[in-house]
Structure 1
Amino acid sequence: MALNGIDISNWQSGINLAVVPCDFVVIKATEGTGYVNPDYERAYRQAKTAGKCLGIYHYASGGNIQAEAEYFLKNAGSRVGEAMLVLDWEGRSNPAFGVNDREWVKAWCNYISTKTSVNPVIYVQQSMMSRLQNIGNYGLWVAQYASMEPIGYQENPWNEGAYACVMRQYSSSGRLSGWNGNLDLNKFYGDRQAWSRYAGKGNQTTSEKPSEEEENQEGTTLDLVFFGRCVENLEMGKNGKAGLEPDMEKCRG
């Protein structure tokens, strides 16, 4: 069982989420410590009324970790426990990207988890997955594209199965009825109940702390929570193809 859905930001302001076909919507809420998506609240209300599975994300600016986490939580408000919480980890306007990825992301997620009893999901491009090795019990939403050609929902996205993830973004050139423009297309590997588990409070699971050797190990393995199970030692990029990994946030805003 899987769900098809989209993620949106200010670039899709005014989109009618009751008309565009999607099982779920992940909406940009905040960026850094000074930006709130002006269409965030309207889009969220409309998606909720339309019965969509809900998610909200924070675009990391790589600044003060606690300040960015608190800013996100302030604007998330009562949506915590109802919407999947997501950290968007990309390179644009983020000096920590490619420098101390694991430390920053882990600290932000740990802070959110401690404050809310919800484990956030991490959005990241496929080539950066190994930098988040042993990150903890935080699911990954992985972006990797076969091309930039316009497409609709795909039952079996390109390179599916090469690595494990909670959710896969396989296009930023998606075309769906009800919106005259590009959309990010995603596949969530679970049903509505599984989505609710990621969104709901108490979704934390306990795992043994990795040894110092495991903490410092580099390679092509990743530990992550996949529907409540710890998936260990997964090979990345089995077919050797890197795929397209454009600056998605630059397109989304």
Structure 2
Amino acid sequence: MRELPGNERSRRWRAGLLLAAVAALPWGLITAGPAAAADYSRAAGNYAGSQIEAHEGVHGRPDTARADVSGDQTLGHDVSGHQGPVDWPAASGSGARFAYVKATEGTGFVNPQFGAQYNGAHGAGIIRGAYHFARPDVSTGAQQAEYFIANGGGWNGDGKTLPGAVDLEYNPYGDACYGKSPADMTNWIADFTSTYLAKEKRSALIYTSTAWWKLCTGNTGRFGNTDPLWLARYAPQVGELPAGWDKQSIWQFSRSGSLPGDQNYYNGPMGRVEALAAGPSAAAA
């Protein structure tokens, strides 16, 4: 056999070592390329309660004519981009005193109608805030809180801006709990809320349903003393609350009505809504 030149022997020896090293690697460490981009194909149609209605249904609505239902409650609503332009003066004339507007989803979608909807509510004298549709499957809680703040979800002390809210509900793209265990989901929520608090000096509201909270967090009571509850339940009564909260701050009670968007009751008179907007010093006064 013809003897190979020294440089050729060296090249083949190095190639053999490389092939042996690759063969020894666990298959999980070998990737075919960058991770697939997050799916935002449904983002324009995802809004507060869209998946709760789909999974839990509608079981009626409160009788707003009854004093024990509507007494000492403040009416408001929430909107997102799929509703398009909103007639805010008409909404105010029909009784809306506060509103939440979807700002963002995950770390890859901003509501294209956000500016018009958010500023329109302010122009009509309605106290407004922004909410974020959480996607625990695409990035960390901290990253999503920062994205939310950077795209309209911040708070200021003008007395007309409510603190931001994080919308936690069934995954519209797959597994209801975004592939997370209850412990991991709880930690993701804490990552979001602690980041929001650190940056905005306000606690974010948590929007959810009791059924989702039980399923995906194991019914943790971790946030009841820190983050106000915005509960979604389409029924005549509020019903059971998630663990940790002894009352809801806001109840989203209907997915339709005379007002544009979804209808909500703030659990208290208008002065309580104003106190939430003004900040802790006003709330304690």
TM-score range, shorter chain: 0.5 to 0.7
Flag structure 1 segments of 5+ consecutive residues without an equivalent. Answer: 147-157, 205-226, 229-253
For 2:76, the aligned partner's letter is G
TM-superposed CA distance for 1:111, in Å, is 0.9
Runs of 4+ in structure 1 deviating by more than 6 angstroms, as ranges, are none
Q: Which residue of 1 aligns with 2:165?
A: 86
Secondary structure of residue in 2 paired with 1:195: helix
Q: Which residue of 2 aligns with 1:128?
A: 212
Task: Provide closer, same or farther for how the CA distance between residues 105 and 199 of structure 1 changes in structure 2, counting only shifts above 3 A.
Answer: farther
Determine which structure has the larger helix proportion and give its number. Answer: 2
Q: Which residue of 1 aligns with 2:229?
A: 140
Q: Give the one of 185, 191, 197 matched to 1:107.
A: 191
Contact 2:129 2:164 in 1 (8 A): yes
1:166 aligns with 2:249: yes
Secondary structure of residue in 2 paired with 1:14: coil
- Between the aligned partners of 1:73 and 1:36, the Cα distance in structure 2 is 11
For 2:211, the aligned partner's letter is S
For 1:175, the aligned partner's letter is G
- Between the aligned partners of 2:204 and 2:140, the Cα distance in structure 1 is 18
TM-score, normalising length: structure 1: 0.67
Task: Provide closer, same or farther for how the CA distance between residues 108 and 17 of structure 1 changes in structure 2, counting only shifts above 3 A.
Answer: same
What is the percentage of aligned positions where both structures have the same residue? 25
TM-superposed CA distance for 1:51, in Å, is 0.7
Task: Provide closer, same or farther for how the CA distance between residues 161 and 18 of structure 1 changes in structure 2, counting only shifts above 3 A.
Answer: same
- Between the aligned partners of 1:18 and 1:187, the Cα distance in structure 2 is 19
TM-superposed CA distance for 1:59, in Å, is 0.7
Q: Which residue of 2 aligns with 1:6?
A: 77
Q: Give the one of 253, 271, 274 matched to 1:193.
A: 271
- Between the aligned partners of 1:194 and 1:96, the Cα distance in structure 2 is 37
Flag structure 2 segments of 5+ consecutive residues without an equivalent. Answer: 1-71, 242-246
- Between the aligned partners of 1:45 and 1:168, the Cα distance in structure 2 is 23
- Between the aligned partners of 2:153 and 2:233, the Cα distance in structure 1 is 31
Larger Rg: 2
TM-superposed CA distance for 1:115, in Å, is 1.0
TM-superposed CA distance for 1:41, in Å, is 0.6
- Between the aligned partners of 1:84 and 1:96, the Cα distance in structure 2 is 28
Q: CA RMSD in A?
A: 2.5
- Between the aligned partners of 1:79 and 1:36, the Cα distance in structure 2 is 17
TM-score, normalising length: structure 2: 0.60
